[in-house]
Amino acid sequence: MTRTLLRGARVITMSPGRPDAERVDILIDGDRIEALLPEVPEQVREDTGEQAGGDEHGDIDGHTEVVDLTDRIVVPGLVNAHLHTWQTALRSAGADWTLLGYLLRLHLGVAAHYTPDDMWIGTFAGALNQISHGTTTLGDWCHNNHTPEHTDAAVRGLRDSGIRAVYLHGVPNRAPDVPHPVAEIDRLLAGAFRGGELLGLGMAVNGPHYSSPEVAVADLRAAEERGLVASMHESGGAPPPAWESVRDAGLFGPRTNIAHGVGLTEDWFRTLVEAGVTFTSTPENELGQGHGTPVTGQLLRLGAAPSLGTDVESVVPGSVLSAARIALAHQRGLDHERRRREGLPAAETPSVTARQALSWATVEGARALGLSDRVGRIAPGMRADLVAVDTRVLNLWPAHDPVATGLHADLANIEAVMIAGRWRKRDHTLVGVDVTAVNDALRASGERLLAH
């Protein structure tokens, strides 16, 4: 199996006990990271036949590809833990929608007109865009599955893109007293998700905020019995009695994920954090559409942290690094304002750091999707999901602080993306993708849908 040696970069491993950034070479064997090397050992040079000043992308001897990443920063593959890729063909159509307008126009309007082909191209193009932005792992919250054919098309879109994903199976406009169709979950487990490394299955349930107590308990128990992540929306309003029913049944745990979380009380945050529940904030959309204040601060005060998502391609762009910067700036702003209100002097150091924000888009995203043992950090034994950030572009040069530079990267800086040891983006270009054909199909889908 081909090995790859990434050399010359400053590496942000996000691993505990290691420096924020360090100069190490990354040796990859197959789909996993084999070793972090402070320098290329002489034996490896002999084995690969590497010569000083050799071809940057040359396959030295057919066994080890040596890639020179001087003046780049390598970060763990980013994790977008909450995105509805099926809406990709409707990009910018809802830029001025409030949350109510979004629900009325999209979920109670155009969503019913989706065909399986619309699901495929939206998911495929949305996943490719995530890869291009440095996302290697996606939590795809798919709740427009009118038929099994719609579901299968969306899953095929993820597989065709080459992204690592947890496909969170949802149901459109499900009534509070209707349970999740677990027969469909079992069909997927026995078929499309049987074996395989890159795609995993989860359940996008209504959750206790939008279900009767009996259904909320039944749905979460079904997920627990199958060992699946159960993700649910919670956005505004006091928690109804179903939350207590789920708590009393002991069904809140590390495989429970709450998207948004806005409106929960401090007591509920404490209960859920102590149970190991994860939270995913989508700060740009939450602030813009009127969900409420992102929950970053509540989690930090309890020693927890959010994962991040970009939520709806129809409303906001899909860059998870942008979400991290917005979450960071918003929380710092809240903390600065609190000090002013309390009559305290201006803080000498920020309340939240760039490294924390980067961890929300890597380590915490992996935790939210139940993949902490595989992705989110750069360490021996972890999957080789990596992003090379080109700091030579004018918007980042000179890169004095590697962590801040990684956080400040934009699409123009994402030079290369590796997923499971395979290059999916190289030299700023997606590998093996006919972008013109994708764009044409996506535009045709969007125009047909918007006609409704």
pLDDT digits (tens, 9 = 90+) for 90-120: 999 999 999 999 999 999 999 999 999 999 9
Least confident range of 8-17, 276-285, 339-348, 414-423 = 339-348
Query: Is the predicted pLDDT of residue 57 greater than 50, yes or no?
Result: no
**SS3 call for 108:** coil
The pLDDT value given to residue 196: 84
Q: Domain spanning 78-365 has what CATH number?
A: 3.20.20.140
Query: Is the predicted pLDDT of residue 42 greater than 60, yes or no?
Result: no
In the chain, the percentage of residues whose pLDDT exceeds 70 is 94
Model-level pTM? 0.94
The pLDDT value given to residue 26: 98
The pLDDT value given to residue 63: 82
The pLDDT value given to residue 255: 98
User: What is the rounded average pLDDT of the residues 9-21?
Assistant: 96
The pLDDT value given to residue 39: 60
Query: Is the predicted pLDDT of residue 54 greater than 60, yes or no?
Result: no
The pLDDT value given to residue 1: 55
**Residue 301 in contact with residue 272, Cβ under 8 Å?**
no
Query: Is the predicted pLDDT of residue 424 greater than 60, yes or no?
Result: yes
Q: In the chain, what are the domain boundaries?
A: 3-76+375-430, 78-365
- Res. 59 pLDDT band, cuts 50 70 90: very low
- Res. 156 pLDDT band, cuts 50 70 90: very high
- Would you say domain 3-76+375-430 falls under CATH 2.130.10.30? no
Model confidence pLDDT, tens digit, residues 181-199? 999 999 999 999 998 899 9
Query: Is the predicted pLDDT of residue 58 greater than 50, yes or no?
Result: no
The pLDDT value given to residue 61: 53
- Identify the CA nearest to 258 among candidates 279, 239, 244, 273: 279
Integer Cα distance of 218 and 447 in angstroms = 39
CA angle 5, 8, 14 (to 5 degrees): 80
- Identify the CA nearest to 138 among candidates 162, 114, 117: 162
- According to DSSP, residue 59 is labeled B
Query: Is the predicted pLDDT of residue 56 greater than 70, yes or no?
Result: no
Distances (CA, A) of 445 to 108, 163, 368: 18, 22, 31
**Residue 31 in contact with residue 197, Cβ under 8 Å?**
yes
Integer Cα distance of 94 and 106 in angstroms = 9
User: What is the rounded average pLDDT of the residues 343-364?
Assistant: 95
Model confidence pLDDT, tens digit, residues 361-386? 999 999 999 999 999 999 999 999 99
> How many helices and strands in the chain, by DSSP H and E?
15, 20
Outline where 11-67 has alpha helix (H).
42-48
- Specify the residue for token string 């830029």: 95
User: Which token pair is 213?
Assistant: 């107590």
Query: Is the predicted pLDDT of residue 162 greater than 60, yes or no?
Result: yes
The pLDDT value given to residue 237: 76
Q: How many C-beta atoms surround the C-beta of residue 187 within 10 A?
A: 15
**Residue 165 in contact with residue 137, Cβ under 8 Å?**
yes
**Residue 268 in contact with residue 239, Cβ under 8 Å?**
yes
Query: Is the predicted pLDDT of residue 53 greater than 50, yes or no?
Result: no
| Strand extents, DSSP E, 93-158 | 135-142
Provide the residue count of the chain. Answer: 452
Q: Chain-wide mean pLDDT for the chain?
A: 94
The pLDDT value given to residue 235: 86
